[in-house]
């Protein structure tokens, strides 16, 4: 299982260290709508979860992703 | 083996790729009424892996109508070679899709007509305003109906209506060389993973296809790219042991091989059926195998279930020399480029050897599991052509005939005796609508024996064909071993005052050279000119990197150099002179 920040860094093709809880489409230019959807697909695959449409719509930044994963009992150490 | 690239891998790869100088460029436009982001990028990366550069235009979201109707749109500015039109059936049919049974049967029939007309009009405009080939996806037939099990009983019900639209769409495209339908329904039913996106993604983004679906779709679309880039392959080079049959003939003996109607033999039998079908479509087959020649030939000649026999292979290399050397010899003997060869061998060392030493050859990774062999053949996309002419279909056999001719040639010491033995017949035929395809193809493909190397598009040849001041002849050649098909083209432009003929194009496929066919043809042309009372024949030689074989031809025929301008030589035929070259073949006018 890939760690959350690794996964985001891979999909957005950016440096892992530049990803913080407050990172969002507003702060990371690579995070466009297509990459946003790719993030959803890859997160679901990697963490073996299925988000609802509402959950996807509610995500505004990295911290929201972490909260959503926690609801699905994904272990804190892989969320990071 | 490399792990299969996923969607984001493709997007990232797309950012890093560069055009290498010899890559042919194809301009591709995408028009759709839903989100297809990623598809152009993936097609670009996949094409790049095949050394083809894609310059694409993805029309703005759901603006395909504006793009088609506006002559100044980005679509037309791009001047695409290829247009993909992807229409989702829901927005295309609108209300009718959701409430088909609010309409009467008559209204439903009219609606189908209307919708077909709409697409036909779009396709007409696209053809008028661009020179692109156009690929339109069939409409996806839905599984759901409020009529449930009775849906299939509805006259012009939703399902039937969409089938009708697809059927008529195929009819429109069938007899038009520029239009192609993409079989979306069979595509969707044959993918390993669902090609359609899950509902959440669909509602959030209006992406109809899943990310995996877009990757698979791009693979299919590559089939249209190969022939546009002239990258279609011609020849399959096959290993024998554990490729054409299961087991090793030297160890297991012919009886011990897996090949036949039993469980273990069927994958190989099916594999050979697919190869035989490709041969009958015109793909050349060759063998490159490390084996005792006699052992392997025993199987090929006498094994009860062997479908591919000696006469299906244009070149057979069964020996103990390395396969890279064999491969080069195969290309040389068949006189085709290494880059038109595809190599199928189960052994990864041999695969690696060819990749390393003969990188021009396409090497296919045969899977460990032999039950997957047939699917490997079904997934080969690079044999696609936009037209299959009768010559293409015969190609596999023609190369086998050639093998027999070479055998005769090596037995005959004297060239003239050899040519006479061949009993070559040349037929000169006035172009008609059934041969224009092949004539166009020859002007595009013939490099060596070609005086002027003028490349013509179908439409241009058609115009010349219709014009009264042009003479277009196609040349068919056969000998006692078989038919070479249409292998030459002569185009003559007649002067308005009827005094002079200009040889616009004079070309012959190199397969028929060396038999005095070219001289026979010129003699025939001169004879005709005389009969029509022509005073002068003018011909040009325009040098290219490849047409050296034709350089001295006009002189050899008795033409005299009359002008030389920037390396272009103009020759004139003097009717007072005798046409001297000895001709060893018969020429006759096509009787039909």
**Per-residue tokens: B396:** 């596999």
Quickly state the pLDDT bin for B412 (edges 50, 70, 90): low
Which tens digits make up the pLDDT trace of B148-185? Answer: 999 999 999 999 999 999 999 999 999 898 999 999 99
Closest Cα of chain B to A27: distance in Å? 20
Q: Kindly state whether residues B454 and B540 are assigned to the same domain.
A: yes
Q: Kindly state whether residues B433 and B560 are assigned to the same domain.
A: yes
ipTM of the complex: 0.91
Q: Which of B423, B592, B591 is nearest to B515 (CA)?
A: B423
Boundary-marking domain end, from B213, B228, B243 = B228
Closest Cα of chain A to B8: distance in Å? 6
**Per-residue tokens: B415:** 């060239």
Residue of A42, A51, A53 with shortest CB distance to B8: A42
Closest Cα of chain B to A22: distance in Å? 23
Quickly state the pLDDT bin for A61 (edges 50, 70, 90): very high
Q: At which residue do the structure tokens 């025929």 appear? A: B557
In a domain, B403, yes or no: no
Q: Kindly state whether residues B50 and B169 are assigned to the same domain.
A: yes
Rounded Cα distance, B205 and B199, in Å:
10
Per DSSP, the residues of B70-103 read -TTSHHHHT--SEEEEE--HHHHHTHHHH-GGGS
Q: Kindly state whether residues B553 and B510 are assigned to the same domain.
A: yes
Q: How many interchain CB pairs under 8 A, A with B?
A: 36
Interface list for chain B against chain A, based on CB atoms closer than 8 Å? 7-8, 11-12, 15, 37-38, 199-201, 203-205, 207, 211
Q: Kindly state whether residues B348 and B479 are assigned to the same domain.
A: no
In a domain, B388, yes or no: no
DSSP-derived secondary structure letter, B322: -
Q: Which domains does chain A have, with CATH numbers?
A: 3-79 (1.10.1200.10)
CA distances to B402, B423, B476, B477 from B426, in Å: 17, 10, 6, 5
Residue B385: the pLDDT is: 84
Q: Which of B303, B251, B229 is nearest to B53 (CA)?
A: B229
Q: Kindly state whether residues B137 and B192 are assigned to the same domain.
A: yes
Rounded Cα distance, B562 and A67, in Å:
86
Residue B2: the pLDDT is: 47
Instruction: Say if residues B132 and B176 touch (Cβ distance below 8 Å).
Output: no
Check CB contact under 8 Å for B211 and A10: no
Tell me what the pLDDT averaged over chain B comes to: 90
Q: Which residues of B touch A33 (CB under 8 A)?
A: 205
Residue B413: the pLDDT is: 63
Quickly state the pLDDT bin for B591 (edges 50, 70, 90): very low
Residue B249: the pLDDT is: 92
Q: B143 is in which domain, residue-wise?
A: 2-228
Phi-psi region of B79 (alpha: psi -120 to 50; beta: other; left: phi over 0): left
What total of structural domains would you count in chain B?
3
Say whether pLDDT at B363 is over 70.
yes
Interface list for chain A against chain B, based on CB atoms closer than 8 Å? 10-11, 13, 33-35, 37-38, 40-42, 51-53, 56-57
Mutate to test the interface with A, among B200, B212, B213, B215 (most CBs of A within 10 A): B200
Check CB contact under 8 Å for A57 and B204: yes
In a domain, B479, yes or no: yes
Please name the residue of chain B whose CA is at the shortest distance from the CA of residue A55.
Answer: B200
Check CB contact under 8 Å for B201 and A51: no
CATH number for B257 = 3.40.50.1000
Q: Kindly state whether residues B439 and B542 are assigned to the same domain.
A: yes
Q: Kindly state whether residues B271 and B339 are assigned to the same domain.
A: yes
Query: Taking the complete model, does pTM exceed 0.90, yes or no?
Result: no
In a domain, B64, yes or no: yes
Q: Which of B223, B231, B236 is nearest to B339 (CA)?
A: B231
């Amino acid at each position: 299982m890939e760690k959350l920040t690794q996964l985001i860094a891979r999909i957005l093709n950016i440096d892992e260290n530049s990803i913080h809880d407050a990172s969002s489409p507003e702060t990371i230019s690579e995070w466009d709508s297509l990459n946003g959807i790719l993030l959803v697909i890859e997160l679901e695959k990697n963490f073996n979860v299925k988000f609802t449409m509402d959950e996807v719509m509610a995500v505004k930044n990295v911290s929201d992703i972490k909260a959503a994963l926690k609801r699905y009992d994904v272990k804190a150490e892989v969320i990071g | 083996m490399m792990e299969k690239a996923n969607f984001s891998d493709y997007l990232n790869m797309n950012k890093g790729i560069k055009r290498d100088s010899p890559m042919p460029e194809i301009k591709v436009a995408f028009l759709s009424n839903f989100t297809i982001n990623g598809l152009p990028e993936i097609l670009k990366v996949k094409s790049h892996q095949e050394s083809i550069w894609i310059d694409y235009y993805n029309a703005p979201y759901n603006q395909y109508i504006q793009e088609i109707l506006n002559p100044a749109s980005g679509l037309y500015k791009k001047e695409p070679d290829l247009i993909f039109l992807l229409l989702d059936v829901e927005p295309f049919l609108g209300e009718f899709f959701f409430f088909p049974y609010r309409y009467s049967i008559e209204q439903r029939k009219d609606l189908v007509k209307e919708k077909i007309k709409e697409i036909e009009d779009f396709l007409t405009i696209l053809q008028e305003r661009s020179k692109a080939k156009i690929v339109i996806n069939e409409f996806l037939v839905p599984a759901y109906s409020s009529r449930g099990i009775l849906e299939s009983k509805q006259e012009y019900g939703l399902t039937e209506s969409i089938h009708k639209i697809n059927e008529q769409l195929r009819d429109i495209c069938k007899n038009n060389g520029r239009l192609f339908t993409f079989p979306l329904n069979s595509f969707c039913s044959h993918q390993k993973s669902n090609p359609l996106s899950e509902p959440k993604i669909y509602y959030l983004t209006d992406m109809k296809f899943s990310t995996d679906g877009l990757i698979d779709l791009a693979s299919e679309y590559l089939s249209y790219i190969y022939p546009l880039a002239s990258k279609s392959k011609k020849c399959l080079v096959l290993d024998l042991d554990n490729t054409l049959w299961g087991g090793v003939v030297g160890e297991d003996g012919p009886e011990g091989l897996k090949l036949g109607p039993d469980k273990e033999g069927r994958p190989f039998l099916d594999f050979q059926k697919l190869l035989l079908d490709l041969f009958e479509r015109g793909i050349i087959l060759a063998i490159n195998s490390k084996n005792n020649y006699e052992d392997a030939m025993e199987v090929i000649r006498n094994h009860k279930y062997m479908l591919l026999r000696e006469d299906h292979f244009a070149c057979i290399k069964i020996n103990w020399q390395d396969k890279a050397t064999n491969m080069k010899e195969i290309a040389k003997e068949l006189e085709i480029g290494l880059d038109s060869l595809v190599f199928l061998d189960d052994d990864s060392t041999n695969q690696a050897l060819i990749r390393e030493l003969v990188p021009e050859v396409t090497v296919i990774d045969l899977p460990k599991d032999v039950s997957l062999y047939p699917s490997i053949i079904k997934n080969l996309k690079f044999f696609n052509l936009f037209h299959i002419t009768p010559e293409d279909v015969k190609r596999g056999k023609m190369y086998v005939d050639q093998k027999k001719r070479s055998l005769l040639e090596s037995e005959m010491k004297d060239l003239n005796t050899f040519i006479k033995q061949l009993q070559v017949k040349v037929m000169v035929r006035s172009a008609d609508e059934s041969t224009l395809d092949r004539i166009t193809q020859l002007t595009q493909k013939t490099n060596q024996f070609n005086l002027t190397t003028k490349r013509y598009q179908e439409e241009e040849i058609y115009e010349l064909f219709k014009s009264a001041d042009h003479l277009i002849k196609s040349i068919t050649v056969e000998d006692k071993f078989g038919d070479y098909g249409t292998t030459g083209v002569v185009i003559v432009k007649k002067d308005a005052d009827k005094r002079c003929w200009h040889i616009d194009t004079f070309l012959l496929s190199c397969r028929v050279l060396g038999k005095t066919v070219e001289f026979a043809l010129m003699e025939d042309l001169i004879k005709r000119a005389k009969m029509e009372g022509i005073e002068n024949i003018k011909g040009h030689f325009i040098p290219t990197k490849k047409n050296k074989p034709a350089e001295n031809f006009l002189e050899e025929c008795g033409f005299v150099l009359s002008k030389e301008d920037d390396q272009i030589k103009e020759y004139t035929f003097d009717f007072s002179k005798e046409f001297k070259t000895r001709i060893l073949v018969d020429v006759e006018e096509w009787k039909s």
